[in-house]
A and B are shown apart, each in its own frame.
Chain A
Amino acid sequence: MNRAWRARNHPAYWAFLVHRLSGLALAVFLPAHFLVLGQALRGEAGLEGALRWTDSPLVKVAEIAIVVLLAAHLTGGVRMLALEFLPWRDWQKSLAALAAGATVLFGLAFALALVGGG
């Protein structure tokens, strides 16, 4: 492993990196999300036109990815609030694992709902 990364290879640093990069990605995604929904101002057909773009498998994969990023940012954020506002000593590492686990669950739930139909 690269020496610069050896020092940073621990759960809290990974949690930080995931939080920052997911936040950045969500910030880029948000305006597009708002613009697509804004198409409803032109009636149902307007929104439907914008949404049909999401039928492509590639967009579906991107959708799952953005939901996973949202879940990661959520769970990572809850972890950070706990670290900053609750008195802690030893359980912070379990907290990072918990956040990662919850993210995977959210991602799976959404992916199953999206792909599985139902």
Chain B
Amino acid sequence: MKGVGPTTPAASQPPLLEKEGRSSRGAVRAEVLLWLAQRASAAVLGIAVLIHLATMSYAVRGGISAAEILARTRGSLGWLLFYGVFVLAVAVHVPIGLRTIAQEWAGWRGAGLDVIVVAIAFALLALGWRAVWAVCA
């Protein structure tokens, strides 16, 4: 066996945590909570998308028309709430995923990226809720 792991003389390199810009405790916790938010929103979306797929498959039979869609959705508090929550979960889920892709595939990290990601979240929320309101109100 080589001297690996537990017997590696780590003491000779004290600032291990800080090396490679390893971030502060607060930032680490934020990353973990983002990860958790991604999974929690995924769980919500799992159910929402299933309902969405079923509804769509039902709705497109014989072609879709605005009249048909709006007859189903207009004035329905149930659909308003369902799609309201759906959009909220999307607005959480999508930006976190895009952030990871930007970091890994574009090598883009840092505050600039986080600002854009938050902006995307609010844009999705605004556009999505506007659409829900348009169809359900």
Contact = CB atoms under 8 A, between A and B. Distances in A.
Contacts of B94: 23, 26-27, 30
B39 A34 contact: no
Task: Give the bracket for the number of chain B residues in contact with chain A.
Answer: 35 or more
A48 B134 contact: no
A110 B56 contact: yes
Contact of A81 (B39, B64, B127, B131): B39
Chain A binding site: helix, strand, loop or mixed by DSSP? Answer: helix
Interface stretch (A3-11, A36-44, A93-101): A36-44
Contact of B134 (A26, A30, A38, A118): A38
A41 B134 contact: yes
Interface of B: 39, 42-43, 45-46, 49-50, 52-53, 56-58, 60-67, 69-70, 90, 94, 97-98, 101, 123-124, 127-128, 130-135
Given A47-B134, A70-B49, A113-B56, 13 more contacts: A24-B98, A24-B101, A27-B97, A30-B94, A30-B128, A31-B127, A34-B130, A36-B131, A40-B134, A41-B130, A47-B66, A77-B45, A118-B61
30 contacts: A23-B97, A23-B101, A30-B90, A33-B131, A34-B131, A36-B131, A37-B131, A37-B132, A38-B130, A40-B131, A47-B69, A48-B67, A54-B64, A70-B49, A70-B52, A71-B53, A73-B49, A77-B45, A80-B42, A81-B43, A81-B46, A109-B57, A110-B53, A110-B57, A110-B60, A113-B57, A113-B58, A117-B62, A118-B61, A118-B62
